[in-house]
Homo-oligomer: A and B are copies of this chain.
Amino acid sequence: MTALETLGAPAGVPVAAPTTTHTYERAGVPGSGTTRVRRVPQLLLRVLAPLALIGLWQLSDTLDWVSPQVLPGPMAILDAYRELWAVGDLQAALPISLQRAGTGLLVGGTAGLVLGVVAGLSVTAERFYDAPLQMLRTIPFIALVPLFVVWFGIGETSKVALIIGASIFPVYLNTYHGIRGIDRKLLEVGRTFDMSRWETIRLVVVPLAMPGILVGWRYAAGAALLGLVAAEQINSQAGIGYILNTANQFQRTDIILAGILVYAALGLVVDVVMRTLEHVLLPWRATHDGR
């Protein structure tokens, strides 16, 4: 029979080769037993890598494998924290820096979101400002601190402007591409049922582009924190970027690393916040969790 020959099956014995079977067994309800047993090593895995790293680090310090100039040990860094805390710098830095980064992120992210949504939905808008934005995006804001002083003065404006500049593009880029990635068929639904532009954006476009948008915000949050370092070169007496800059100037490697760890901790906070947001905002996703 041709139908089968062309389907790659060799014509021949009608009784087939032995079948391999597998047995799967399951008792009880999901969420019990097995699941809990597995969760412990998972948690372990998550903290194992960092803990091992810290151990090795302290060891290399204690055994003088590397000079403290190159990499101060964890204890030295703890001391640095104690010092910063005693002077009150750390307590002062965080709220100030977070406020700056937060304001910039909010303004820049919102602008990026709006621009991204509009460009994603309208070719005209895209033609009008996508190219200029792509050009602006590449500009190294960090190198422009003196110019920002000229343009925005030495007050909070210039600091926040720098952070806005850093956080606008990740959100724009990911929003735009998130929206362009929406299956045309789903936007057709909106057109077919005469949904208003606004309803389409609210109910269809933004929710479906949300995964991409969240990646953009995630990146923007990092960029905003990064922007602090440049922004707090401008007339600041406090802030986590200020601490880093000063430590840099006075060769305090331990404080630099302490500051970096604060950044890393903030990175972790951002991660947790974004993961939570993803859970809250994307309950509908039919995706895998990469088993």
Contacts and interface: CB of A to CB of B under 8 A. Distances in A.
B70 A150 contact: yes
Interface string A118-132: 011111101111111
Interface in A41-77: 42, 45-46, 48-50, 53, 69-71
A185 B286 contact: yes
A210 to B, nearest CB: 10
Chain A interface, >50% SS class: helix
Contacts of A244: 140, 143
Q: What size tier do the contact residues of chain A reach?
A: 35 or more
B222 A138 contact: yes
A143 B46 contact: no
Q: How many copies does the complex hold?
A: 2
Contacts of A214: 177
A56 to B, nearest CB: 14
A251 interface: yes
Given A128-B45, A129-B49, A181-B211, A150 B69 contact: yes
B144 A256 contact: yes
